[in-house]
Chains A and B, each alone.
Chain A
Amino acid sequence: MSAAPEHNPTMARMSLAERLEPHAPVLLIIALMILGLIAIPSTSSWLTLTVSGLAMGMMIFIMASGLTLVFGLMDVINFGHGAFVSVGAFVGISFLLMLEHMTGAPSLWLNLTAMMVAIVGAMAATGLMGWAFEKVIVKPVYGHHLKQILVTMGGLIVVEQLIIVLWGPEEIFINRPEALKGAITFAGAALEKYRLVAVGIGLVVFLAMRWVLRRTKIGLIVRAGVENGEMVEALGYRLRLVFVGVFIAGSALAGLGGVLWGLYQEVITAHMGNQTMILIFIVVIIGGLGSVEGCFIGALMVGLMQNYVAFLEPKLALISNIGLMVAILMWRPMGMIPVVKAK
C-alpha cells in the first residue's frame, strides 16, 4: 500500500451571509425589537413594552430550560412539567407570606433576603419533587411517547389536586416585596422594578447554565448526550445518572420560574403551571429541542411578541405566538437551533 500524501487542509474565507447565518436567531430578536420600535408610536411605550417582554421571556426561559434538556437528553416528553411551576409558586409564596415582616419592610436588603429564602425553598421542594416524579412516573415509561404523555399529564392532575388539598381551591393574591413595587423612570419610560429584577435573574440563570454546559465536563456530557446518548454511554459515562440530575435541576428551575411568575402575575392558582405549558412548549419547539440557547432566544421572542402585539392589537395577542411558531418552523422545521437528531 502506498504512503498517504501529506494531508494539508486549508479553509476558504466565508462570505458575509455565511458568517451571519449561525447568528440569525439572535438577529431575529433585534429585528423584532426594531419592528416593534417602528410599529409602536411612542418610544417610551416601546421601551416599557420591551423590558416587559424581556422579563416575561426570561421567566418563560427559566421554566422551559429544564424541559428542553429533559426531552433532548432522554427523549422524554414531560407534560407534567407545569406541576413544578405551580408547586414552586405555592412553596415560594408560602415562604414570602411567612416572612411578611421582611417583605413589608422598606429595606431592599431584607426584601431580597426574603425573596432568596423563598426561591431556595421553592427550588429545594421542586427539585426533590422532580427526583420522585422521575423515579415514580417517568422511569417506567422510557421509550414510550404516548404513555409518557398520558402518565405525565396524570401526574400533573394529581399534583394540582394535592395543591388544592394543601392550600385550598381559591386564588392567592400576593403583595410583591416593598422595594420591588413601583417603577423607575428611564428616558421617559416607566420600567417596573420587579421586571428589571426578573430580567437580571433570567440573565444570571442563562449565563450560569451556559457556563456549566460549555465549560464543565458534566456540561459536555449533557450536550453530547442530547445529540447521541448511545455514544456517550459507549465512552463510559452513565447517562441515566446525568439524566436524573438534569431532571432534578430542570424541576428546580421550573420551581424558580413559578415563584417569579407568581410575583409577576401577583396571583397564584393550582392551574398556573398548566396554563404556562402552552407558552413553554412553543418556546421549546421554536428554540429547537434540546437547545438551551434556542430556548433562551425563543423565550425572548415569545415575550417580546406577546407584549408588542397585546399593545398594538390586543385581540391578536393570544394567537401571535402560534403565528410566530408557524413562521419559525416554516423557516427551520427543527427549530432555530436544533440539537436533537430525528429519533
Chain B
Amino acid sequence: MSDPILSLKGVRTNIAQYHILQGVDLDVPRGAVTMLLGRNGVGKTTTLRTIIGHWRAHEGQVLFDGQDIARLPTPAIARLGIGFVPEDMGIFSDLSVEENMTLAAVSGPIDSTRLEWLFSVFPALGTFWKKDAGTLSGGQKQMLSIARAMIEERRLYLIDEPTKGLAPAIISTMARALRELKEQGASILLVEQNFSVARALGDSANVMDDGRMVWSGEMKQLATDAELQERLMGLSMENH
C-alpha cells in the first residue's frame, strides 16, 4: 500500500480542562474511504476538528502528505487541499446557494463542468440556486454543505456525519454522491453513525473509544463480525 495521505501519530487534544483526544493514531490511505466510527462523545468530531486546525493538538503529529500540519492555521491547512464538512453543516444562511458555492471555489470561478455534475447529484441545488441557504430544508442544507466541499477537487475530504437526522431518501442521495466522489479516486475520512452507509462506502474502518483508536482494519471485517461490533461499539450492525 502507498503512503497514507494523512497520518495522526499520538495526537492529544484538550478542550478547556477536558482531555478529549488521548493519543490518537490514524492512517488515511489515498483514494479510499476511511470510516471513523465509535459511540457518541468518544472524540470523532474532535479528531476532524483537530486535523482542520479548529482545535490545536497539544501533543503528537498530524502528517498530511508527510508535512506536519498540527501547528498550521486553519486557512493554511485548507489551502493544502483539505475539504471539510462539519457536523453542523456550517452553511452560510444569509448567503444564497450560489454565493455559498462561489465562496467555496477558493481558487477562482466555479468550474461549470463540475457544477453540472453536482447539479446532477443534487438537483435541489439548481432549483434553489438564487435562494438564501437559510431557507433550505435540513436535507438540502446538508447537500449544499457537501457540494460546497466538492465544488473543487480536494486532496482529502473530512466529512462529519453527513446523514445525521436525514430522511432515508436523502441519505440515499448522500450515499450516491459520496460513492461518485469515491469512484473519482478521492481520499475521504468519513465519520458516520449510519452503519448501512458505512458498510456500503467504507474501505477501511477505525473505531474510537474514550479518545483513543481501539481498532483499525478492513471495513468488510468489521461489517461481518457481530461479536467485534458488539465489543467495540456496544451494538451490532445487523440491527441498523
Contact = CB atoms under 8 A, between A and B. Distances in A.
Same complex origin of A and B? yes
Contacts of A234: 52, 54, 74, 78, 84, 86, 90
B81 to A, nearest CB: 9
B102 interface: yes
A4 B78 CA distance: 32
Contact of A7 (B104, B148, B173, B196): B173
B72 to A, nearest CB: 11
A18 B200 CA distance: 43
A223 B74 contact: no
Interface string A233-275: 1111111000000000000000000000000000000000000
Interface in B126-157: 127-128, 140, 148
A228 B103 contact: no
Contact of A224 (B52, B103, B128): B103
A297 interface: no
Contacts of B40: none
Nearest to B131: A11
Nearest to B92: A224
A220 B102 contact: yes
Interface string B208-225: 000000000000000000
Interface string A64-102: 000000000000000000000000000000000000000
A270 to B, nearest CB: 38
Interface in A213-239: 217, 220-221, 223-224, 226-228, 230-239
Chain B interface mostly: helix
Interface string B73-106: 1110011000010100010111100010011101
Nearest to A232: B103
A236 B127 CA distance: 27
The interface size bin for chain A is 20 to 34
A2 interface: yes
Nearest to A337: B94
B228 interface: no
Contacts of A238: 73, 75
Given A1-B175, A9-B127, A235 B78 contact: yes
B95 A220 contact: yes
A231 B128 CA distance: 22
16 contacts: A4-B173, A6-B123, A8-B123, A217-B102, A217-B103, A223-B95, A224-B94, A224-B99, A227-B94, A227-B95, A233-B73, A233-B74, A235-B104, A236-B78, A236-B79, A339-B94
- By Cβ-Cβ distance, the 10 closest A-B pairs, closest first, are A231-B90, A4-B172, A236-B78, A233-B74, A224-B92, A236-B106, A236-B79, A234-B84, A4-B173, A238-B75
